[in-house]
Amino acid sequence: MPHKSQLTVKEGSELKRLEYHFNSIIKNESIYPVFQPIIDLKTGQTFGYEALSRLKDRSVINNPDELFITAKQFGQTARLEKLCRKKILLKANELKLPGNLTVNICPSVLKAVDHEKGLTAALIRELSTINNQVILELTERYYIKDYSLFNETVNHYRQQGFRIAIDDLGSGFSDLKMLLSIEPYMVKIDRFLISNIHKSIKKQRLLNALVTFCHDVNAIVTAECVEKKEELEILIDMEVDCAQGYYLGKPDQSVTECSEEAKEVILKFNLKKRIPENNQLNSSINSLVQYIEPVQDSEIIMNISERFKKDKTLTSIPVLNGQKPVGIVNKRELYYRLGQRFGFDLFSQKSIKTITESSLIFDINISIEEVSKRVINRDEKSIYDAVIIIKNGAYSGIVKIHHVLERLTDQKIKLAQQANPLTGLPGNMLIKENIESRLNKKQIFAVMYFDLDNFKPFNDNFGFELGDYVLKFLGSLLKNTITKWDKNSFIGHVGGDDFIAVCRSQDIEKLCNLIIEKFDQDIKTFHNKETWQNGYYESIDRHGKIKKFNLLSISIAVLSTKNRLFHSFGHIASIASEVKKEAKKINGSGYAVDRRKD
């Protein structure tokens, strides 16, 4: 057995060899980036890419995890992350990477003496093709003890204009305290919760709670490490927004998209022709649920037949295995089997599972519109008289398909009646319903009130036809910009030149600036060359006198439920009107934010 001092010498030489190899990696920049697609589970399109780092030489350090552990061991994490980020951003710019780009940041690097603040933002500004695309994933490879440091990191990067994502939620390294404290743009769910989720009711219940909370605070939910079709189907069913993993697409040095197999699964659950999210009434299937006493799959057919005979209104009975729904038995199928020659003798004493038909199963919070899409897109060989509804993974009731289609038809008629005829955007009633629904769910959201400056004299001077084109332009600009900013947003047209948007509150001033920039750039096309050069036009004011008016601009009033309690839609409308007056005082396009707190 070696002497203790011999062991110490050996360990010391190994450490020196490891440190030498690590320094060589940094010096020679022996790292290259790969990009894994993040897929939108509504469309199958690429939402963005997560950037990952790989080693060129794995002779001593085997993988990236070991590399970061080694960096921490020698106090070189900031140095390593700086190199990784530089390589990632340069390669992304070279590839003209479409969509968003998520880049990992370890908060503890802020403590490092060699950390150069503002370096990442400065590099991105130089790379035109990825400007405004980057989302920073805050990840802590060890347990987070210093939340003040974590919050400092968030504020540091938000001040530079970055969107923030929480990585590995559910892994044990991140927890709900972090989720509550930083209000992220995106939350990424760890593989622990995703792996084999189709086999675990407990995992499904926990994920359902996380998805509901994240959506209430307007955070996008992304599932990591999806490796099986069954996992993907559960995630789509549970309204997870995005996903990534080997089943959807492997990390690659080039630009890749969703695998054909995974895209087929996604499109199966999401029809290609869909009502725009912004126009949905989003009423929950909960309002149509009818509780029918279920039976266990061990029950014999004769007993089920007797139940149908006693209750003439009963057409379908849900079948469970324990607490888990497994399908539905339909009266038509049961009577068909028993009515055949020798049918009663053959089937009456068999268990009901022999004639149980598969059924679509939905969570109680899903919208009626989503259910209708799945029903219409079903396997044509299967017949569904009813679908099963679950709550927290357990049976809750059934919904008859004809009730779903009737309700959807009513909703479409209501939507058409209440949409603004000029822009096609939802009108006052739907705006009120959307805001009241969010208030009732106690969601954190922002309301944006848009109003054109000097629109009436513009109409009087240039004509109502051109004025209508301006309103269509503004409606389209708001819808495209805000929906891209927040896929769960709502945009409505109050009437005239007044518009409303409801969206996530985080970084709302950045959105205001983006809208103003686009508006001011494109509105010039609605003025003739002479008017634009003059910077004004003449028209008759409300007193009947000729007056000079500034060119069209936009005023935005913003309020949020983040730090203030609103009791009703009327309360919000009243405050929005106050804030709009402040915004209108600004010369040219501008915005005002209600910063009052309860």
Residue corresponding to tokens 């518009």: 499
pLDDT of residue 4: 40
CATH of the domain at 231: 3.20.20.450
In the structure, how many helices (H) and strands (E) does the chain have?
A: 21, 21
Give residue 1's pLDDT. Answer: 42
Residues 63 and 167 in one domain: yes
pLDDT at 116: 61
In this prediction, residue 9 carries a pLDDT of 43
Instruction: Report the pLDDT value the prediction gives residue 162, as an integer from 0 to 100.
Output: 81
Verify that 495 and 459 share a domain, yes or no.
yes
Arithmetic mean of pLDDT, 212-227:
88
Q: Per the domain annotation, does 2 fall within a domain?
A: no
Q: Which residue range forms the structural domain that includes residue 468? A: 419-593
Same-domain pairing of 403 and 432: no
Question: Is the domain of 441 the same as that of 518?
Answer: yes
* Tens-place pLDDT, residues 513-561: 999 999 999 998 898 888 888 888 887 777 778 888 888 999 999 999 9
Band of the pLDDT at 10, cuts 50, 70, 90?
Answer: very low
User: Which of 270, 296, 316 finishes a domain?
Assistant: 270
Q: Which residues pair with 189 in a beta bridge?
A: 169, 223
- What is the per-residue pLDDT for 356? 84
- Please tell me the predicted confidence (pLDDT) of residue 19: 87
Say yes or no: 258 and 159 in one domain.
yes
Q: Is the pLDDT of residue 7 over 60?
A: no
Of the listed ranges 17-26, 409-418, 435-444, the one predicted with least confidence? 409-418
Q: Look at 209 and 393; give whichever has higher pLDDT.
A: 209
Reduced to 3 states, what is the DSSP secondary structure of residue 38? Answer: strand
- The enclosing domain of 589 has a CATH number of 3.30.70.270
Given 236, 270, 304, which residue is the final one in a domain?
Answer: 270
Instruction: Please tell me the total count of domains within the chain.
Output: 3
Residue 450 domain flag: yes
Listed ranges 109-118, 272-281, 312-321; the one with the highest mean pLDDT: 312-321
Structure tokens, 6: 């011999």
What is the DSSP code string of 470-498? HHHHHHHHHHHHHHHH-TT-EEEEEETTE
50 lies in the same domain as 100: yes
Residue 20 maps to a domain: no
Q: Which of 114, 85, 112, 113 shows the shortest CA–CA distance to 101?
A: 85
Q: Looking at 407, 427, 452, which one is the last position of a domain?
A: 407
Strand order, beta sheet including 590-593: 490-495, 498-503, 446-453, 553-560, 590-593
Asked whether residue 363 is domain-assigned, the answer is yes
pLDDT for residue 584 is more than 60: yes
Burial bucket for residue 463 (CB in 10 Å: 0-12, 13-18, 19+)? exposed
Reply yes or no on whether the pLDDT at 227 is more than 90.
yes
Most trustworthy range by pLDDT among 113-127, 358-372, 474-488: 474-488
- Does residue 546 form part of some domain? yes
519 within domain boundaries: yes
> For residue 6, is it within any domain?
no
The answer to whether residues 568 and 447 belong to one domain is yes
pLDDT tens-digit profile of 309-348?
Answer: 888 888 899 999 887 888 898 888 888 877 777 777 777 7
**Does the structure show a pLDDT above 60 at 5?**
no
Q: How confident is the model over 484-493, as pLDDT tens digits?
A: 888 889 999 9
Looking at the structure, do residues 239 and 292 belong to the same domain, yes or no? no
- CA-derived radius of gyration, the chain: 29
pLDDT for res 146: 62
The larger pLDDT score, comparing residue 292 to residue 281, is at: 292
Q: Does residue 321 sit in the same domain as residue 222? A: no
Residues 189 and 95 grouped into a single domain: yes
CB atoms inside a 10 Å sphere around CB 540: 13
pLDDT computed for residue 123 by the predictor: 59
d(CA 189, CA 556): 35
User: Binning pLDDT at 50, 70 and 90, where does residue 232 land?
Assistant: very high
Amino acid 180: pLDDT: 73
pLDDT confidence band for 147 (50 / 70 / 90): low
User: Is 262 contained in some domain?
Assistant: yes
Q: Does 429 lie in the same domain as 311?
A: no
Instruction: Tell me if the pTM is above 0.85.
Output: no
Residues 300, 225, single domain; the answer is no
